[in-house]
Amino acid sequence: MWHSSFYGLIWDEIHVHSNAVKIAYNSHPAGAILVTDAMGAMGLPDGQYKLGNMTVDVGPLADMKDNTRAAVIQGTSTLAGSIITLIECVRKFKEFTQCSLVEAIEAATLHPAQMLGIEHRKGTLEYGTDADIILLTDDLQVERVFVRGELATPETVGN
């Protein structure tokens, strides 16, 4: 079921210009969907990694004043994908747009579910939903993850 118009943002300060984020959010906050475009090197230290048959370099971008890290095709400045986690996108989005915590989290949970028409199962804590829950600290660090009501551990992930 179609609900509204939505737009995706990879808010890693590389993929989308900051002014575009402000314009989009201020124009239609309920349509914001945070995505990562993350590749396998997400969360790994600086270095070289494989992406299909390509080698990518992960590390700070030379032209970024704040040491923003990125993955580029080896020997080029061409982005190979993002290395930002979704919770990092939420933190950056909240800080940059000055939106509420609820709005930032909904951009990563409820809005994608609404766009896909699965908000009756995902993106909410309503009774009868799948009980996929992330417990966060006050500074938006992931503390625990529950999938279908069960604590996710290294032993249970992927099963």
CB 9 within 8 Å of CB 35: yes
Burial 50-82 (b: 16+ CB within 10 A, else e): eeeeeebbbeebeeeeeeebbbbeeeeeebbbb
Strands across the sheet containing 142-147? 133-136, 142-147, 150-151
The C-alpha atoms of residue 37 and residue 114 are separated, in whole angstroms, by: 20
Catalytic one of 37, 132, 138, 139: 37
The C-alpha atoms of residue 82 and residue 95 are separated, in whole angstroms, by: 19
Pairing of strands 133-136, 79-81: unpaired
- Specify whether 37 is catalytic: yes
Point out the residues that are catalytic.
37
